[in-house]
Amino acid sequence: MSGIDQEFLRTLKEKVNIVDVAGGYFSLEKRGGSYWACCPFHHEKTPSFAINEGGQFYHCFGCGASGDVIRFVSEMESVDFIESVKLLAARANMEVPLSDDDSRKTAEQKRKKDTLLAILNDCAHFYLNNLNSGKADAHIEYILSRKIPANIVRTFGLGASLNYTDLPKFLLAKGYSKQDILDSGTVNEADGRLTDAQGGRLIYPIINAYNEVIAFGGRLLKKANFAKYVNTRDTLIFNKRKNLYNINLLKKLKRSTAISEVIMVEGYMDVISLYQAGFKNVVASMGTSLTQDQARLVKRYTDTVLISYDGDSAGQKANMRGLDILKDEGLNVKVVPLPEGYDPDDVIKKSGADEYRKCLDRAMPLIDYKLASAKGAYDLEKTEDKRRYIGEALSIIRSAESETEREDLLKTLRNETGISYESLKRDLESKPQPPPPAMKGGDKPEKKKDVADAIKKASRFVVASFLFSADYVKDKDISDIVFSDDIHAIIAKYIRSKKLMEEDIRLSELFEFFDANTPEYEELERILDYSEGFGFESGEVAAKYFDDCVTQLKLHEINRKIERETKRLLSADDIKERAEIAANINELTKQKDKIKTEK
């Protein structure tokens, strides 16, 4: 399945406790023998995500997401299986054994990545030295004009590109190949000439959560006919849709204190200005529309995001979908109102940190912001505009998560428009309710409706009873049961092998048998749904249902055999062969009748 020795994977999973790993991403609450949290893979308010420490696996009883510690890290870090194994192996101080082909590919990829990181690191020092060289007067003048003190310049590693030619020469002199330099994104090529991709700009190093320089942002120092700000292009180590500016310092902050909320701004200077003013819980989306990856990244640090974009509202309106993405990822989203025409840096510079704190205190829930934004587009003194606004406002109010919230918003709409509450409520209820929020987790769809037949459901319950060692299966043997679906047969074989070897069932091992995002893996998730709370059912009702399921499976297997024999009978020409088949069918029918009688 992975090219990695299975024994190594088992040893790795024994060394890394899934509870410890998950606890590094979000808080867990121990209840009974399990650990609980709101699911990181779909939006919910009541925890349905559980971790079984004994079995070393997780399962969400809301969206059905399941897996072992490798799958968990893969989902949380948005990396593939191999990368997830590497991250866990580094945590456990283990070296990943790979096949010769995989070793060569991995070694080359690691060489490439390490080389690019080295290039980016050397570039950061090159730009920093330029800033301190005495030749960067324009850059220093800009820094002073923005009132950035020396300690903040050092904290963010600001630098200077003096021209288009020095950086390529510097990197070639360091011994880097032309291709690696180009692949780093720091240098462009045109007509055979290499040029600094950030030529002449003030440089903002972009640093990831692992404290590695992965890209640069650059700002022009004088007016020109091209973009004021540019980022390094996407590379092997940088994708701006998956990163946030200042995430490295946010991670450092989390190590020293709990983070109740994160401020999301648009640009580098907003981050630097807020950080300087004491608001260290700040990140920037670097000009891109917000993405699911960025939402998942910020959710590792907090459940509440304060959106603080420019006060002219154009950026906020354009990024409304981005705000919904944050909300769909389970984040509590609020929008910070700023004075018209101001950005966060302006508020800090002109009015001070206390005034910006007042702006944060006035942060509006996302749904209130949507209504305020919609209202601003209409002249309510005009009848047609007012009617259009009411229609748009009702559409927004329908997305409210509770009746209480809807009632409160309807009263606000009544006060704004003069339309009676009763009329607004009738119009609200006359339209269909919006669909539930989309699930997340690698674009994982909302849990599919279970259309399994009775035999499949019976198989699930029987298998789950053995997996979770229900009281009523202690003296029973799963070998006596025949399963028609391959996945149930595979799990039954695993259970039999553990019993023969007198070993405990380790549920995390089941995830090694099936590839993720396959029907087999989804069926495994369905089986785990029977383990609600990992305290499997016991008692007479469950025992009776188990016996009924076993009977159902036995009858199903006999019916399958009768069906096969009947087909043989219809196609057989030899009289002796037909007699033998008829006898088999007769015997199977007797077995079937006996089972029914015993039941």
User: Which pLDDT does position 166 carry in this prediction?
Assistant: 97
User: Which pLDDT does position 132 carry in this prediction?
Assistant: 95
How many other C-beta atoms lie within 10 A of the C-beta of residue 482? 16
User: Which pLDDT does position 440 carry in this prediction?
Assistant: 42
193, β-bridge pairs: 190
138's CB contacts (< 8 A; 6+ apart) are 221, 222
Angle at alpha carbon of residue 422, lines to 418 and 427, rounded to 5°: 90
pLDDT below 50 — which residues of the chain? 1, 434-446, 448, 451, 533-535
Length of the chain: 599
Nearest to 536 by CA among 471, 454, 459, 460: 471
CA distances from 36 to 41, 71, 259, 372, 501 (A): 14, 18, 20, 37, 32
Nearest to 246 by CA among 216, 218, 272, 220: 272
Measured CA to CA, the distance from residue 566 to residue 14 in angstroms comes to 51
DSSP string, 358-408: HHHHTPEEHHHHHHHHHHTTS-TTSHHHHHHHHHHHHHHHTT-SSHHHHHH
User: Which pLDDT does position 444 carry in this prediction?
Assistant: 43
User: Which pLDDT does position 507 carry in this prediction?
Assistant: 79
Measured CA to CA, the distance from residue 343 to residue 359 in angstroms comes to 11
User: Which pLDDT does position 274 carry in this prediction?
Assistant: 96
Q: Locate all alpha helices (DSSP H) within 204-299, ordered by sequence.
A: 247-256, 268-276, 292-299
DSSP letter at 221 equals S
- Tell me the per-residue pLDDT of 190-233, one tens digit each, with 9 for 90 and over: 888 999 999 999 999 999 988 899 999 999 998 777 788 899 99
User: Which pLDDT does position 438 carry in this prediction?
Assistant: 43
Q: Residue 177 corresponds to which tokens in the numbers above?
A: 């190949």
User: Which pLDDT does position 277 carry in this prediction?
Assistant: 95
The 3-class secondary structure across 425-440, one letter per residue, is HHHHHHCCCCCCCCCC
User: Which pLDDT does position 316 carry in this prediction?
Assistant: 53
